[in-house]
Amino acid sequence: MKPVILAEKPSQAKAYADAFTSRKHDGYMEINPCPTFPEGAFLTWGVGHLVELKEPHTYNPSWKRWSLGSLPILPERYEFQVAQGKYKQFQVVKKLIRGTNTVINACDVHISL
């Protein structure tokens, strides 16, 4: 089973792919078998955040307009949605991840001090 490498953005994925022989597809690249990836690998990317929290008013219509007195807004269960305009890439990432048993997170690391 080929591993899936998830980069944060297309330019980052291209930089990674430049280290290998690969073929470009719609929303991902396929790395040819090599010493690092004997079976090959799939390399895909996000486009910013592919998934985001739903807006407060989707949980409770009264949260559409809020005031300091109504804070904090804490739904019983947080729900997520695919970010606007990113459905197609989300589907590519989802399909590749569901088809593997190894995902390599190659996104940027953010450290807060």
- Going 25 to 11 to 13 to 85, the CA torsion angle's sign is negative
Identify whether the C-beta of residue 90 lies closer than 8 Å to the C-beta of residue 50: yes
What fold characterizes domain 1-48+86-108?
Rossmann fold (3.40.50)
Range(s) for CATH 3.40.50.140 in the chain? 1-48+86-108
Q: Report how far Cα 55 is from the mean position of its chain's Cα atoms.
A: 19
Predicted confidence at residue 67, as pLDDT, reads 84
Predicted confidence at residue 44, as pLDDT, reads 98
The string of pLDDT tens digits covering residues 67-91 is 888 889 899 999 999 999 999 999 9
pTM of this structure: 0.84
The candidate with the shortest Cα–Cα distance to 31, out of 8, 51, 6, 2, is 2
- 66-to-21, 75, 102 alpha-carbon distances in Å: 53, 14, 43
Mean pLDDT of the chain: 93
111 pLDDT above the threshold of 80: no
Predicted confidence at residue 23, as pLDDT, reads 97
